Structures are given as structure tokens and as C-alpha cells.
Amino acid sequence: MIDVSTALHILQSNTSVPAPAMLPLQEATGFTLAADVKAPRNMPAFRQSAMDGYAFDYAAWDKISPLQIASEVAAGATKVMSLLAGQAARIFTGAPMPEGADTVVMQEKTSVTDKQLHVLDTALQAGSNVRPIGSEIGADELALPAGTLLTPAATGLLAALGFTNVAVYPPPRVSIVVTGNELQTPGLPLAPGQVYESNSWSLRAALEPWRIKEVTVRHAPDDPQQIVAALAAALEEADILLVTGGVSVGDYDYVAQSLTACGVETLFHRIRQKPGKPLFAGRKEDKIVFGLPGNPSSVLTCFYEYVRPVIAWRMQHPGHDSSIRKLPLTHDHEKPPGLTHFLKARSDGQEVTLLTGQESYKLNTFALANCLVALDADRGQWKAGEEVAVHFIS
């Protein structure tokens, strides 16, 4: 059995980064830029007023006399007008500055009588309230470096620069295979001995924040031939395959041998951890396969601790480690030394409380958790106030 850090190391060294894909900008938010993006033009491309007000030539103004309002320029105006000394133009936010004007006074800081403009802004300086050409980004300058996560702001910036497609690391295609004779689809009647199938639901929900939309779900009973058939079909169409159940030592646990039969090379099977000790990981070409121990809480814990990092590495998602923080425990805690424990917990960002109901068949407290606390394998006792590793999951 290997330890948690070795398992993560093995996964990292077996995760390959896909070739970048050009995606329509609207589909690329949440993904990471695969290439530097240079500004194709100055932004702003022309001198713009930053306020609704009046534009004029500051140097030509004697600071006392009123200016004569000679013209008007609105946003979108295509003609660039010229102003003479002593003249001002009515102007609006985003409108092109007239030739001969370098300063805008806000309309609230003026008085106008008979087309005569009195400037009342004593703090006004040459260049006030004007957005110079290229003051956001100059032509050919780096707008966003490769490795930037496309936030809504980054998406907006690329649109503002005129891009409609962008090179990103594409999300993996994910296939889920749930195994078990006892599983029934929610919504259908439950026969004696059956449980509602929930693992594919929690996994699909956990994939959603990654904007992974290509997810297929198959259900295989505990029959080696049918499991092999489902796995083979899933491997055809997936970059990451998530199998749940059937990875332990029971007589009906066929998943590891079925994956081998499908040509999956075992990376590891069993980790010194609780929950999720029977976790299986394998590889076929560039595809990573997880055999997630079927208990619903183990499935999600292993998703957050192992599948999530693989997705993040694959998608070159920056700042993945920022979901891990050290925070003090609110209460004492004891566990037997030997296994790393991942405990459902809730944190307000200042401290962290372990929840009750840690058994791996229980999702009820997981549903209230916003983090998992990782407790070292070799230790057995923690005091309130002691800092522990908190892995935020939302």
C-alpha cells in the first residue's frame, strides 16, 4: 500500500497535457490560455472622453474666461472635429476627443449660460478625464500571458480586443461507469435490497465547476463480461474514466481485473488512507482511469483528493493549490495512527470544525461540508487550536 503523497506524485507524472484547442471565446471561460495573446491594436484605439462634460484645450484657456460651446460629440461619432482656442465641445463618455482638445471637465463642475461654459472645477488639470490612446494596452503589447485562467474579466478583455476564438487547454472528456447489482435509477421504484444510484450524480455535479460538459454515464452489473464491455466502450470516448464500486476485495469486485483486461496499466491499487483505501488508478495511453471505492463518501473524497488534481494539471489550471490552507481545529481530535484521514468538515475561513458522521457510506454530513481536513497518517492526536491542512471543496 502506498501513501497519499506517493499516489499524487504517480498521478502527476502520468498526467499529460493535451494539445491546445482553438475554442470560441464564449466557450473558453474557465479554461487556461495556451498561448500569449498580444493586443492587435491600441486600446483605446482613439482618445476618448472618460466623462459626460465638455472638452477643450487646457493650455489655451486663461482659467477665468468662459469657453464658447461650439459643437457636440457623442459616443460612436465617426467624424473627428477640430476646436479653436477658446472653444469647447459638449462631449459624452466614450466619445472621441476633438482635435485641439486635451481635457474634459465633468458637466457637474460647470455652469452654462447662452452657450458660454464656465469651468468650476478648481482641481482640473491638463489631460483630466481623457483616456489616452493605448493607455489600457498598446498595440503588440502582451494582453494576457499563456497560463492565464480565463475569468469573466479576461474573457471580456479578449472580446474588447476583438478576438472571437482563443487557444486554451481543452477540458477532458469524462466517462463514468457505475457498477453494482444493487443500483436503481432515482425516480424508479426501489425493490428490496436495492439502493438508488447516487455516485454518478455527485460526480457529474463535481465536474460541473470545471465546465466539463462531455460526460457519459454507463451502468454495469457485477458481471465481469458486462463490466469489461462497459469499460471498453467508455475508454473509447474518454480522456478520464471514473469507475465506481467493485474495487475492494469482495467476491463481486471485478473492476481492477476488468480494467487490466481492457489494457489499462495499473498505477496503484490501495492507499494508506481513510476513506477510499481501495482506490485504484491506471493508465491507458494518455487516458487516466480511476476505480473509486463505491461508498458514496469515498467516491467524492477520492474525487476531490485525486481526480480534481489530475483535471487541474491536465487543464493547466493555475492556483489549484490555493484551495489548500492551514487552519486551527475548533476541537480536540483522536484517530488511530496508520492511515491518512480525510474528514468532512466545515470552515468559516478562520478555523475548522470536523463534522459528525464520518463513515464512508454517509453523504448526509458531506452535504453540509465545505472542506476536507487531511490528518497525517502517522499521528493520532490533535488539540483544539492546532493547525491542520484544510482542502476547500467549494
Ligand X SMILES: Nc1nc2c(c(=O)[nH]1)N[C@H]1C(S)=C(S)[C@@H](COP(=O)(O)OP(=O)(O)OC[C@H]3O[C@@H](n4cnc5c(N)ncnc54)[C@H](O)[C@@H]3O)O[C@H]1N2
- Residues near ligand MOO, by CB under 6 A: 274-278, 293, 295, 298, 360
| Cβ 183 vs Cβ 222: under 8 Å | no
Out of 49, 103, 199, 340, name the contact with ligand X by CB under 6 A. 199
DSSP per-residue letters across 298-327: HHHHHIIIIIHHHHHHHTT-TTGGGGEEEE
Establish if 223 lies at the interface with ligand X (CB under 6 A): no
Judged by DSSP in three states, 226 sits in helix
248-277 residues near ligand X, rule: CB under 6 A: 248-250, 253, 275, 277
What's the grid cell of residue 115? 452657450
Establish if 338 lies at the interface with ligand X (CB under 6 A): no
DSSP per-residue letters across 67-113: EEEEEEE-TT--S--B--TTEEEEE-TTPBPPBT--EEEEGGGEEEE
How far apart are CB 249 and ligand MOO at their closest, in Å?
11
- The nearer residue to ligand X, 87 or 199, going by C-beta atoms, is 199
- The nearer residue to ligand X, 295 or 365, going by C-beta atoms, is 295
Write each residue from 355 to 374 as x if it is in contact with ligand X (CB under 6 A), else as -, in one continuous string: -----xx-------------
97-156 residues near ligand X, rule: CB under 6 A: none
- The nearer residue to ligand MOO, 228 or 343, going by C-beta atoms, is 343
**Cis omega (within 30 of 0) on the bond before 275?**
yes
How far apart are CB 374 and ligand MOO at their closest, in Å?
15
Establish if 297 lies at the interface with ligand X (CB under 6 A): no
What's the grid cell of residue 215? 460526460
User: 10 Å Cβ neighbour count for 77?
Assistant: 15
Q: Which does 246 bind (CB under 5 to 8 A by kind): ligand X, ligand MOO, none?
A: ligand X
Count CA atoms closer than 13 A to 227's CA, side-chain side. 25
Helices then strands, each counted (H, E), the chain: 8, 28
Instruction: For residue 392, count CB atoms less than 10 angstroms from its CB and return exposed for 0-12, middle for 13-18, buried for 19 or more.
Output: middle
Establish if 244 lies at the interface with ligand X (CB under 6 A): yes
Q: Which does 41 bind (CB under 5 to 8 A by kind): ligand MOO, ligand X, none?
A: none
How far apart are CB 199 and ligand X at their closest, in Å?
3
What's the grid cell of residue 59? 493650455
Establish if 282 lies at the interface with ligand X (CB under 6 A): no
**Cis omega (within 30 of 0) on the bond before 44?**
yes
End-to-end CA distance of the chain: 30
- The nearer residue to ligand X, 278 or 309, going by C-beta atoms, is 278
- The nearer residue to ligand X, 250 or 349, going by C-beta atoms, is 250
Q: Which does 250 bind (CB under 5 to 8 A by kind): ligand X, ligand MOO, none?
A: ligand X
Establish if 243 lies at the interface with ligand X (CB under 6 A): no
Tell me which residue has cell 461619432: 77
- The nearer residue to ligand MOO, 173 or 272, going by C-beta atoms, is 272
Binding site for ligand X (CB under 6 A): 178, 180, 182-183, 195, 197-199, 244-250, 253, 275, 277-278, 293-296, 298, 360-361
